[in-house]
Amino acid sequence: MNVKKPLPFFNVAADGLAVLNIEPGETVQRIVLALGGTAFTKAMITLIRLKLNGKVFYETTGTYLDLINKYKGIADDAGFLTIDFSERDAKTLGGMYAGGIATGSGVTSFDVEVTIAGATAPTLEAYLQTTAARPLDYILGMVAHPVTLSAAGKFPVVLPHGPDAAMLLKRVHFFNTYMTSLEVKKNGLIIFDDIPAAANSFMQKEFKKVPQAGLYVFDPIVDNNVTAVVQTANAASMRFNPTVSAADTLNIYAEVIGTIDKF
């Protein structure tokens, strides 16, 4: 991959919205954010929002993205935070770069918005890791889906699916300290059979993933076979049935691959 330093962020402030405009051209596989200043941590990034042609396709926070990266085994450093569209350990080159943001044609704007809260004299820079230019096609996005559960129990959660969504589900991250297991059904058939958190974490460790406290990951490509993503275009129904031991909010973030018009 090439490594490029784009134009700087503007409006980097203790409390505000920093914006980076990425010039279209190559295919962006990773964006590495470099945090600096007197006091500026990942927890002070309350929202990361990415827009392509003005349309939001990726949303998360600094804290949640940091935990997702740690689960994947991405290097952990207080001064850096990576937005990764690639799949480092995929078994094929195509699988590795399947979610890259292609800006060779079909893209007029690519914006990174970082909301900062409570920092002191922050600085923010970015580095782009890129591959060859190609026309805009399928991209990796991050879809936020918070759900409030009013009691302990097993509850159905519906994420985007069906012919109109036409998404490929890569992973689904459930942030909650009370979640004890997960069942997933597609078209009424169980594809993930009410797996307890401890068992799920152990099996993920076998494939060199790094489970994080308070994070349950549904990971159909845990073995790095990217062709195992869950296709939703042929799903008449798609249900995620988490079990929780107490009332709380599930902050759900789905890594999905799709065309920009589907986000």
Domain ranges of the chain: 2-131, 142-262
Domains 2-131 and 142-262 share a fold: yes
pLDDT tier at 167 (50, 70, 90 boundaries)? confident
* pLDDT, tens digit (0-9, with 9 covering 90-100), for 185-199: 999 999 999 999 999
Nearest Cα residue to 113 out of 161, 67, 156, 61? 61
* Residue 83: both structure tokens together: 């937005």
Q: Check pLDDT > 90 for residue 26.
A: yes
Mean pLDDT for the chain? 95
Structure confidence at residue 58 (pLDDT): 97
Q: Name 216's bridge partners.
A: 174
- 3-state class of 226 per DSSP? helix
Q: Check pLDDT > 90 for residue 27.
A: yes
* pLDDT, tens digit (0-9, with 9 covering 90-100), for 204-230: 999 999 999 999 999 999 999 999 999
* Residue 20: both structure tokens together: 């980076």
Structure confidence at residue 54 (pLDDT): 95
pLDDT > 70 fraction of the chain, expressed in percent and rounded: 100
142-262, what's its fold?
Jelly Rolls (2.60.120)
Structure confidence at residue 203 (pLDDT): 98
Q: Check pLDDT > 90 for residue 166.
A: no
**161: how many CB neighbours lie within 10 A of its CB?**
22
The CATH number assigned to the domain with range 2-131 reads 2.60.120.730
Structure confidence at residue 223 (pLDDT): 95
pTM, whole model, 2 decimals? 0.95
Structure confidence at residue 74 (pLDDT): 95
pLDDT (mean) for 89-93: 88
Structure confidence at residue 189 (pLDDT): 96
* pLDDT, tens digit (0-9, with 9 covering 90-100), for 114-160: 999 999 999 999 999 999 999 999 999 999 999 999 999 999 999 87
Q: Check pLDDT > 80 for residue 161.
A: no
pLDDT (mean) for 9-34: 97
Q: Check pLDDT > 80 for residue 162.
A: no
Q: How far is CA 67 from CA 114, 175, 212, 248, in A?
A: 17, 10, 7, 19
Give the up-direction half-sphere exposure of residue 244: CA atoms within 13 A in the CB hemisphere. Answer: 24
